[in-house]
Chains A and B, each alone.
Chain A
């Protein structure tokens, strides 16, 4: 069972609309949770990094939330643009005290398509 699960698997929205992507994880304890954007044919690009003590972080039109009690995170995209079409990947980094080293655990991503 994947330790980081994302939903929905794919999503189509109209330009200008908002959307929220979900991430549930079982990695515990963890150091931080990240959201990446991956355009087709490109490497992932970091959007937000939150430590376990943070519960929200924004980057422009992207806002990530974190509930460490329920082990859930969400990424909210406001006023979507065509260029937001990409895969959004939730990534959990293990605590360095658990022997997890530097391994990041990636979700399978939510494929977002923004249409006119």
Chain B
């Protein structure tokens, strides 16, 4: 498939556990975004990568959230010491160029995280 893929699709964690969410963007896409979507809400921006550089992490809610894209392709969003308020769908999107605010963004199916 040529789309954005995310894994796992579902993750249940006990409060305090660390989790890692993976995103495989469309091959060759320069820009990669992570969003958090609470139930019944629209997605909210977390962080943005241009190739391997994290250019904007202003949306990360706390220092427990960390994202990386070391080789400019696959990205991982890590949440340490998960809390119940972290329960949400985490969406990844990629776009072709560095103009992520102009280009179309292609979204993955999301990872639904439930923290018990």
Which of the residues B43, B101, B104, B108 comes within 8 Å of A102, measured between beta carbons?
A: B101
CB pair A42–B42 under 8 Å, yes or no, is no
State how many residues of chain B have any CB contact under 8 Å with chain A: 28
Q: Is the CB of B109 within 8 A of A103?
A: no
CA of A107 to CA of B40, assembled, Å: 11
In the complex, the answer to whether B31 meets A102 with C-beta atoms within 8 Å is yes
Q: How many residues of A contact B (CB 8 A)?
A: 25
Q: Does B55 count as interface, using CB distance less than 8 angstroms?
A: yes
Does residue A32 face the partner (Cβ distance < 8 Å to B)? yes
The answer to whether the Cβ of B65 comes within 8 Å of any Cβ in the partner chain is: no
Q: Which residues of B contact A (CB under 8 A)?
A: 4, 31, 33, 35, 40-45, 48, 55-56, 58-59, 91, 93, 99-102, 104-110
Residues of A within 8 A of B (CB): 4, 31-32, 41-46, 49, 89, 91, 93-94, 96, 100-109
